[in-house]
Amino acid sequence: MEYHNRIAKIGLFAAFSIILGVFENFFPLPFPGIRLGLANIGILLSLYTLELSDTMIVVLLKSLFVSVFAGNLVIKLLLSFPSTIASALVMYIYIRITGKFTSPVSTSALGSLVHIVCQFGILKIFIIKNLAIYSFLPYFSLISLLTGIFIGYLACIVLKHIKVEND
């Protein structure tokens, strides 16, 4: 892929993620700490159309700017950045292993589970020292799986309209 096309896609996917990440903060969900993860559509798109290094740039920009614009910078960055890196890496490996036998729906579902497990681990290490925090993990995992499937479906719709260039 040409340099200027690559940079344009990184900027587009990062901006898309940041806008959706900030936007979804205006709509509270019925449970505290739950978000749809709309910002992860941009990460999924970059995983399917760009190299891993480019996707990591999108992850960094999304995590930093959504945390800044949504407020509570330290907590959001502490929970979001490592979890998003871990889920992006797992999704990348999953895509590379399964190749044409996977879709953004299953990739996103896997990524959402990795993300929530990492967040719980970070919460346990840095914020909530009590093991009782893990009693919420099954519920959050189920909700995370459902939102991951939804986000993957939305990414499928968008991917149909994006030209993928293979060099």
Count of residues making up the chain = 167
Task: Assess whether pLDDT exceeds 60 at residue 164.
Answer: no
Measure the CA–CA gap between 50 and 136, rounded to whole angstroms.
35
Task: Give 59-93 pLDDT, tens digit per residue.
Answer: 999 999 998 888 778 888 888 899 999 999 999 99
Domain boundaries, the chain: 3-159
Tell me the whole-structure pTM to 2 decimals. Answer: 0.90
Q: Which residue has the tokens 């999108």?
A: 58
- Quick one: which of 164, 50, 161, 47 has its CA closest to 106? 47
Q: How far out from the chain centre does Cα 33 lie?
A: 15
pLDDT band at 35 (very low <50, low <70, confident <90, very high): confident
Cα radius of gyration rounded to whole Å, the chain: 16
Mean model confidence pLDDT for the chain:
90
Q: Which CATH architecture has domain 3-159?
A: Orthogonal Bundle (1.10)
